[in-house]
Chains A and B, each alone.
Chain A
Amino acid sequence: MMIDCVENRLLTSRRGLLLGGASFAAWAYLPKFARAAEGRDPRLVVVILRGALDGLSTVAPVGDPDYAGLHGSIALTADGAHPAIMLDSFFALHPAMPEFARMYRDMQAAVIHAVATPYRDRSHFDGQDVLESGYAGPGRVQSGWLNRALEALPRGERVSSGLAVGPTAPLVLRGNAPTVGWAPVALPQADDDTAMRLVDLYRHRDPALASVLSQGLQLERAASGNDMKPKPGNQVAQMRQVARGAAKLMAADDGPRIAALAFDGWDTHANEGGPVGRLAFLLGGLDGALAEFESGLGERWRDTVVVVATEFGRTARINGTDGTDHGTATVALLAGGAVKGGRVISDWPGLKPANLFEARDLKPTTDLRSVIKGVLQDQFGLSDRVLAETVFPDSASARPMKGLVT
């Protein structure tokens, strides 16, 4: 019986998530232009995959002559019992992602390959810090790039959908701009009078706790009456469930427009599986979550961009236990009606030994920050300068990628 770290990491997030291996948090305000502008009302969802997604198994370069040898027993193929889905003549999508394939065919999904953050070491925790903080290197930063982007947006009314008390926001959305989240629990609650007395005590003795508790109470009030209690189920069902709940919230006229989710469990060191197996199981969950966004957002899907990103990729060559160790470049996925899709965007570095990064990893040829900056610019009109100085500090060299959004 071999169970490796993946399953453990399915269970709870690294960052103090309370219930659910998936979390949802959103900006507490509507961008001001959202309601004013006629027609277009942009929405953005950032999905963080923690644990390092194997990009070469998600979107496989089956046309690269070295791929099959490197990925060995877990390599995808265009034929066989579980054929990968050809996206073009070179790249094939994992067969566990039929919904994403359909979006791709409908020109509503795109892949960016051989992409990486500026981080070049292989620690999950530092890698996630760089991915989410938006800084060029790891450090003890307390705000995320998405939060800093929100600070640059004109702030409209407060969102007032049925948002329940949320888990700790993922770092990408942490910072000065206020956020709300959702993590349903079933526990009898303290009454208002007790809560108010405690807030009052904290105001006098411990202002930091006063602010924290007040936020917790406000969010809960906003949430009362919602029916989105999680039901027992597996990780895949939970990913779908969080996405369904998030989509429902975001579809409302006064619901949040900008949100982040984190899914854990992608650290496939052993027995990763090929077209079926552990990674397939997880990718199926991600695919289901994207489908939930599409159906849940309804009319709003056409103004939506979902960005899926991970802290780094995994080794090009499988390790000795039919898995992959920590690597460098990987894929980023875009989905949504606003995506100019049907494309795999890649300056493919090749998988010859000399082309691999440090002779082991897919070499990064695209800066993930360029992709995200491109989306932020097209969706929300953020300027080059704000993107290069505030949102992603010291990133002027990573120019926003043009034309990702219709």
Chain B
Amino acid sequence: MARDSQAALVALNRFGFGARGGASGDLINAASDPRGFVKAELARPNGVLLEAPGLQSTPQLGQAVFAYQDQVKQAREAAAKAGAPAEAATPADQKPGLRRNLSLNAVATEIAGQMAEAKPIDNKPTDNMARPDAMQPNVAAPPAAKPAPQPLNVIQKTFRAEALARLQRATLVECGFTERLVVFWSNHFCISASKGELARIWAGAFEREAIRPHVLGRFADMLKAVEQHPAMLFFLDNQQSLGPESRAGQNRKRGLNENLAREIMELHTLGVGGGYTQEDVTSLARIITGWTFAGRQGQLGTPGSFVFNTNAHQPGPQTLLGKTYEATGLAQGEAALADIARHPSTANFVAVKFVRHFVADDPPPALVARLRDVFVKTDGDLRAMATALVDSDEAWKAPLTKMRSPYDFLVASGRLLARVPEDPGAYLNGLNLLGQPMWAPAGPNGFPDTAAAWAAPEGIKLRLDIAAQLGARLGNSIDPLDLLEFAAADAASIETRRTIERAESRQQALALLLMSPEMQRR
């Protein structure tokens, strides 16, 4: 097959995280068989899983938070006894009581202030850029390589280690299609790390445990894994929701909280207008009462693990979307979720979102219909849906009009520069600055997914500032025209090529390359 650089751009940018620099040969490989290049990753379902030394399970992490909170409390009590002010007992960044009411923005502002001195990606020597081993991660390196002014607590350390593992994976994978799928589903079923300490420590584990195993599996399985994950139950308050007629509800005079039930139907499955009513929301809220996680005392089970608390569960059969679910405890909710996953509205909602993410803000209706049919016929087989997308003509013919999100942009830049992060700090700072803080969207609807949302004056200007910083740091030892070959080869426009050739310095040329339409659009 003839080499088709334009199709290679689609393969790498629309479906993946962009071409890697160095000796990867990504663009050449993608050009010789664009579809095959993208689909190769779908054949390796285990490749979606993320296991790295030191990454722990949700119960282990929950217990670490409980232990940390106990320590802080004891230190505070000891200090109070000794007559010292409580603050003196713990380092400034380890005071959860204070930190809870601090806005993350304040933190982001602090970080932005440090950005001038921060190393944009990492500080490895750049003379070995062309060697393939430049792409090997230093897995043995500790996640936080830079000495911090204050020691990080277990929550911050975990968050950074999880972020680093994800960033390294994204930088190293061949095409990046499955990693893009992970990011898509993780955003569809998002939680926010800024909900609190448990959410922050669980954010990475949630994605590893509830999203990744099902990205090439069944939607219904992902849905169940998500809604039973302690991070989601915590994020949308379900651990507080009690059946009004349950024993706990009666004893404690508390009751329902609709938050999770509503977002399951509105954001996770049926979508607004998907055919449910307020009655259905309340009914589902009753059905999933008792879905919680075991607390620090472990009365219900291993602390930090999902448990079904019969005492909190609303007794009796419930009617949802016209069907009655008998009182079968945990199975009642599982049956309801399984039916919602199969609902025609869910197939439609998911297909529209999927095509909008990968192809165009206004998704081509014929393609949406085809993916919806695949979803229905295969009972929500997500690999089949991804395959159908890659097999479609629309996905290859539609112009590259989507904007890379800040995450896509930073990862694509790191790949092209062949720099495997050893510290996530610069990425996390950049994401905060560009409005896409890692695992922390502002609401349960996740980050926006339209070109307009990311192609805003502020955002583009800030990207340019970041690109200029990268250019200033790295431009000296890089030939931007070589990088243009890696990134786009003869699919690059004449104007982009000329702009880079005529730049007044290599630093400037690198900044312009990173900001070129070839690097910004996907």
Contact = CB atoms under 8 A, between A and B. Distances in A.
Nearest to B443: A14
A207 B115 CA distance: 30
Interface stretch (B29-37, B53-61, B102-110, B220-228): B102-110
Interface stretch (B16-24, B157-165, B300-308, B508-516): B508-516
Contacts of B219: none
B503 interface: yes
Interface stretch (B143-151, B237-245, B367-375): B237-245
Interface residues of B, number: 87
A292 to B, nearest CB: 17
Contacts of A358: 278
Given A125-B445, A187-B465, A320 B457 contact: no
A7 B461 contact: no
Contacts of A219: 457-458
A188 B469 contact: yes
A124 B468 CA distance: 38
Contact of A232 (B107, B447, B460): B107
B240 A2 contact: yes
B344 interface: no
A194 interface: yes
> Which among A3, A5, A191, A217 has the greatest number of chain B C-beta atoms within 10 A?
A3
A10 B443 CA distance: 10
B499 interface: yes
A185 B496 CA distance: 29
Contacts of B259: 4-5, 269-270, 325
Interface residues of A, number: 81
B512 A166 contact: no
Contacts of B443: 5, 8-9, 14, 124-125
Nearest to B236: A5
A8 B254 contact: no
Nearest to A281: B101
Interface string A124-142: 1110000000000010001
B123 to A, nearest CB: 17
A126 B272 contact: yes
B493 interface: yes
B237 A16 contact: no
Contacts of A206: 517, 520-521
A217 B448 CA distance: 24
B103 A166 contact: no
A83 interface: no
Given A7-B196, A20-B105, A319-B258, A187 B116 contact: yes
Contact of A185 (B101, B106, B112): B112
B73 to A, nearest CB: 11
Nearest to B249: A320
B499 A232 contact: no
Given A187-B465, A320-B241, A15 B458 contact: no
> Which among B244, B442, B496 has the greatest number of chain A C-beta atoms within 10 A?
B442
Contacts of B102: 232, 234
A38 interface: no
A138 B237 contact: no
A87 interface: no
Interface in B148-187: none
A216 B199 CA distance: 34
Given A197-B508, A270-B257, A191 B468 contact: yes
A194 B104 contact: no
B465 A11 contact: no
Contacts of B469: 187-188
Contacts, number: 268
Contacts of A18: 433-435, 458-459, 462
Contacts of B434: 18
Interface in B464-506: 464-469, 471, 493, 495-496, 499, 503-504
A348 interface: no
Nearest to A201: B499
B247 to A, nearest CB: 14
B334 interface: no
A293 B144 CA distance: 44
A13 B461 CA distance: 19
Interface string B415-456: 000000000000000001111010011111101100011111
Contact of A209 (B116, B433, B440, B455): B455
B41 interface: no
A17 interface: yes
Contact of B453 (A9, A12, A16, A235): A16
B461 A238 contact: no
A174 B499 CA distance: 33
B475 to A, nearest CB: 11
B124 interface: no
A337 interface: no
Interface string A312-328: 00000001111101100
Given A201-B512, A212-B455, A220-B461, A190 B467 contact: yes
A181 B437 CA distance: 21
B100 interface: yes
Interface in A198-240: 198, 200-202, 204-206, 208-209, 212-213, 215-217, 219-220, 230-235, 238
Interface string A14-32: 1111111100000000000
A187 B235 contact: no
Top 5 A-B residue pairs of the complex, sorted by shortest distance between their CB atoms: A320-B255, A216-B461, A190-B468, A216-B457, A3-B196
25 contacts: A1-B69, A8-B442, A9-B442, A9-B443, A11-B194, A12-B194, A16-B456, A18-B459, A19-B109, A122-B262, A123-B272, A183-B458, A187-B465, A193-B508, A195-B464, A201-B517, A206-B521, A209-B455, A209-B520, A212-B456, A216-B457, A216-B458, A232-B102, A238-B103, A319-B255
Given A5-B237, A18-B434, A21-B105, 8 more contacts: A7-B196, A8-B195, A165-B458, A165-B462, A167-B435, A167-B458, A212-B460, A326-B262
